[in-house]
Structure 1
Amino acid sequence: MKNKHYFLSLFLLTSFLFSFYSCIDKKQHTTSLPALNDSILSTKLLNSERTKIKFGSYGIDVLRQNSKLRVSNLYSIHGNKNITRTFAVVQYPDTINKAFLKEHTEILKGGSIGKVFKQNHWNIEKKSFYFGEISPSAAYEKLYALMGDISPCKLAIYTYGFNIKKDTNSYLYATISEVYQPDYLTLNDLRKMNPDANKYLNETAFIKTLNLVKNEMTVNYHKLETVH
C-alpha cells in the first residue's frame, strides 16, 4: 500500500514539474517573438536588408528606367520563383548633383539605391510624405501575379523623400513610392515603424504621384536587368 502511495505521489510530482517547465518554455518562446518582429521592423534597416532577413534572399529587377523615372521589382526567391515584395517607383529630380553623380551612375546600371549610398558612406534619411493603402482592382492583376499570384487585396504604400548626407552637405536624391506585398509589410506594420505615420495619411498633396504609381502597377513589364 505504501508503495502504491509512493508511486502515485511521484507521478503527481513529475506531472507538476513537467507542466511547470513547459509553461516556462512557452513563455520564453512567446516573449522572444516580439523581439524578432521588432528587429525586422527596425527603421535602421534598408529595404534590401529587411527583405533578406524576413525571406532569406533579395534581388532587383529594373523594369523601366529613364532620366526621370525608375520602376523596380524588389523580390525574394521562393523555390524557383521570384516573389515581388516591394514594387518601387522612383522619381529623380531634374538635375543630378555632381556630388553623387558616381553613385547615381551605379544606380542607373541597376544598383540598389539604399545599398549603393550606404556602401559609399552616405548617411540616409527618409522624409515621410505619405502612408496609405491602394484599394483592390482587377487592373493590377499583373502586379498581383508578380507578388505570388495573390488575390486582389489592399496594398500598403509609402511615399518618401530619399535624403542623403555626407559631412555637412545634404541632398534630396529622389522621391520614392513603395508598394508592398501583404506578406512583407502592411499599413499597420508601417505605423509600427513610423510612430508619426498618422500625420501623413492625406493623399491630396500627392495625388499626382499616386496616379503615376497606380498607372505603373497596371503595366505588363519586360525585365530589363537583374541584380542579385
Structure 2
Amino acid sequence: MKKRRFWVVSMATLGLLATSGGAATASPDYELAYWTMNEPPGSRTMRDVTGHGFDGRIGRDVAVGLRSGDRIAYGFERLEPDTPPTRPGHVVIVPDDDRLDPGDRDYAIGMRLRTRDHFGNIVQKGQATVPGGSFKLQIPNGRVQCWFRGSRTSLLVTAPKPINDGQWHTVRCERTRDGVTLIVDQRVVASRAGWTGTIANSWPISIGGKTNCDQVDVGCDYFAGDIDYIAVDVDDPGW
C-alpha cells in the first residue's frame, strides 16, 4: 500500500520566497482526491481512495499494475508528438465534478512519476482557451511546468532542472491567494506571486494527455512514462 504524502517546506525557504516576491502561504492540506494507481492489470477503473467518489476511466492503452520495487504504477507508452492518429485510449479520465475545480480555494496537485522523455501533459483540467479557466502540469524539455489560468490572470512556473532521468520524482504544484509554487522532491524550485482568480470549468481531469485534440491542428501532448499516484489537496473542501 502506498503511504500518504507528507510535504515539508521549511520556514526558512518560505521566508526567502516571501522576501523575494514569491508565493509563500500554508499548504492546502485537505485530501480531496487520491488516486493510488494500485489497481491490478486489466483494471479499467481508477479508484479514488478518499471515499469522495472521484473514480476515473482508464484508457485501454494504459498499462496498469506495473511493478517497480514496492511500487505499483500506470505506464504510458511513448507516442510521437503531433503525429496522427489520436490515441484516446492513452488517457485516464476523471469525469467533471464541480468539487474538483480549484474555484477560489488554495489548491494543490501532487504526484510521483518517472520518465526518460521530454514532453507531454501529465495532468490537467481544461485546455488553453476553455471558458472558466484551467490548470495543467506538463514536462517540456524534461522540466516540469505548472500552469494555472484563472479569471484574473495566468501564472506559469517552470522547474530549473530536468527530471527525465528515468528515476522516481515527487512533484507538487500549489495555487494560493499569494501565487503558484512548484515543489520537486520536497524542495521548492520555482514560484510566482499573484492571484489567478477563480478557476471553474466543465471539463474532466485528464491524465496522460488532452481529451480534445486531433494531432494536426491541436496536438494531444501525450505523456510518456510511469505515474505512481496523483492527489488533489485543498484548504477547504467546500461541503
TM-score normalised according to structure 2 size: 0.23
Greater RCO, CA 8 A, separation 6+: 2
More helix by share: 1
The structure having more radius of gyration, on CA atoms, is 1
